[in-house]
Chain A
C-alpha cells in the first residue's frame, strides 16, 4: 500500500455497531499501562548510560559468553526441533496408531507446564543417576550442569512451537500430487524434496524462528539444569537477574535492551515468514 493510500484511508470506517470508543480506549489504556510504559522505562533506564558505558556493559566478556550460550543453545535446539518436530508432525498427520490422540494432546504440555516444573524434572531425569542420564554417563555425555543440558531444556520448550506450526502445513500437502508423482516414477526422496518440503518450508522456518525466539529468552527451565557458571553455563537472562540483584539497574537495563532488540528482529522475521506462508498458501489455490 502506498503512503497516499494509507493517508487516504479514513481513520475508521463507519459501522452501526456501538462501543468502538469504549473498547479501543480501554485497550489502549490497559496496553500502555501494563506493557508499553514499563518497556519505555527499560529503554530510558539504559539511556542513562553513555554510549561507551553502554558498550562496556553489553560487550563485557561475561556478557559475550552468555550470548554465546543463549544463542548457540537456542539455535541448536531449534535445529533439533526442526528435525524431530517434523518427524512428530508427520507421524501425527500421516499415521494411525494406538494412543495417538493422547500423544497429540500432550504435545502442548510444555506450553501449559510451568517452566520451574520442567526445569527440576529435566534436571532429575538427565542427572548422572537419572532415568536417561545414567545411560548417557557411560558414553561420556554429561547433560545436567553443562551446555548440553541447556540445549535439552530449550529443545523441550521449543518443541510444541515447531510441531504445532508444521502440523497444519503438512495437512495441506496435496496427497493427490504425491500419488501423481509416485505414479510417474518419482522416488520417495524426490517426492519429499519437490512436493512436501516446498509446501511445509515456510511453516518449518516459522517454527524454527518461534522456537529460537522462545529459547533465547527462556529462564525457568534452564537455570536448574545449567549449573550457572559465569562464562560457561550462564545464560543472558540469568546475567540480567544477577545484575538486578546487585542493584546494577542500568547494566541490567542495557542487557535488557539488547534482548529486546533481538525480540523485535525475531518478531519481524516471524511476521514476514508467516506472510510468505500465506501467500504460498493462496497461490496453490486452496
Chain B
C-alpha cells in the first residue's frame, strides 16, 4: 500500500497534464494528424477539385461557360426562387418565433417538432409530396390541367419544393434565441405604451438581429443549393426549369466537366461566403443553434 502510494506520487510529477511528456506529444500529433488526413481526403480535396476542374482548360474557358444561354437561365431561375422563398420563410420564422417564444400555450413542443419535420424528411420526399398533389395523376392534377395551370415541371413547383426544404431554418435559429433573451424588454415597452409593431421593430428585432442574419443566410444557401426536392418537381427542361444544381447534373452527365464545375464553383463560393458570414456573426458573441 505504502509502495503504491509512493509510485503514484512519483507518477504524478511525470504525467502531470500540460507537461510535454512523450505520450502527450504523441497523442497530440496522432489526433491532429488523423483529423487532418480524414478531412483532407473527404472535404478539402473535393473542395479544391471544384476549382481545379473548373479552371482545367484555362480562365477563358471558365468564363466562356457562363456565356451559355442555358447556364445563364439556370442562374436566373435559382436567383428568382431564392428571392421568393427566403423572404417568405423569414416572415414565417419571425411569426413562429414570436408565437412560440413569447407565449406559453398547450401543444407548443409538438408545434416545434412539426416545424423541424422537413429537416428529418428525405429531400426526394419533400419534392414528391407536391408531385402527388399537383402532378398529372396527383390529387389536383386533372383540375389543374382543365384550368391550364402548371405547377409541377414549372416555377411554382420549384418554389414550393424549395420552400418545404428550407422551411425551418430561420425559425429554428430564432426560437431558442428569443426564448433565451426573455420578454422583459418587450413587456416594458408595451407597459410604456408602445404598440405591438413598434415593440417588434424597435425592441425585438434589434435584440435578435444576429440570429436572424444567420438564419437567413443559411436558408438562402440551402434554397440556392437544393437538388433532390427540386429535381423531382422540375422536369429538367433545359433553359426553362433547370436550377443551378440541376444544370450541374446535366452538364456533368454530358461530360462537360468545365461547365459543370464552373457552375459548381459559383455555388461553392456561395457556401464559403455563408460560412464567412457565420463566423463573423459568431464573433459578435452569438452562438448558432
Contacts and interface: CB of A to CB of B under 8 A. Distances in A.
B partners with A: yes
B122 A117 contact: no
Interface in A222-265: 224, 237-238, 240-241, 244, 247, 249, 252-253, 256, 259-260, 263-264
A196 interface: no
B32 A97 contact: yes
Contact of A156 (B42, B106, B125): B42
Interface in A88-104: 88, 90-92, 94-95, 97, 103
A7 B244 CA distance: 51
Interface residues of A, number: 98
A132 to B, nearest CB: 5
B227 interface: yes
Could you tell me the dominant secondary structure of chain B's interface residues? helix
A84 B42 CA distance: 11
Contacts of A106: 39, 43-44, 275
A12 B103 CA distance: 7
B42 A90 contact: no
A185 interface: yes
Contacts of B160: 34
A10 B275 CA distance: 43
Nearest to B245: A116
A272 to B, nearest CB: 12
A26 B99 CA distance: 10
A255 to B, nearest CB: 9
A15 B34 CA distance: 54
B79 to A, nearest CB: 14
B215 interface: no
Contacts of B276: 105
A58 interface: no
B46 A125 contact: yes
Contact of B225 (A10, A92, A113): A113
Contacts, number: 295
A124 B49 CA distance: 7
B136 A247 contact: yes
A34 B164 contact: yes
A110 interface: yes
Contact of A113 (B7, B190, B267): B267
Contacts of B100: 27
Interface stretch (A37-45, A198-206, A278-286): A37-45
A2 interface: no
B152 to A, nearest CB: 10
B120 A263 contact: yes
- Pairs of residues from A and B, 5 with the lowest C-beta to C-beta distance, nearest first: A114-B225, A217-B122, A38-B129, A121-B46, A220-B227
12 contacts: A13-B105, A30-B92, A42-B125, A95-B31, A121-B46, A182-B15, A188-B27, A219-B124, A220-B231, A249-B138, A256-B125, A260-B125
Interface of A: 6, 9-13, 15-20, 22-24, 26-28, 30-31, 34-39, 41-42, 44-45, 84, 87-88, 90-92, 94-95, 97, 103, 105-106, 108-122, 124-125, 130-132, 152, 155-156, 159, 175, 178-179, 182-185, 188, 213, 216-220, 224, 237-238, 240-241, 244, 247, 249, 252-253, 256, 259-260, 263-264, 266-267, 271
Interface of B: 4, 7-8, 11-12, 15-17, 23, 27-28, 31-32, 34-36, 38-39, 41-47, 49-50, 53, 92, 95-96, 98-100, 102-106, 111, 113-118, 120-125, 128-133, 135-139, 160, 163-164, 167, 183, 186-187, 190-191, 195-196, 199-200, 218, 221, 224-228, 231-232, 244-246, 248-249, 252, 260-261, 264, 267-268, 270-272, 274-276, 278-279
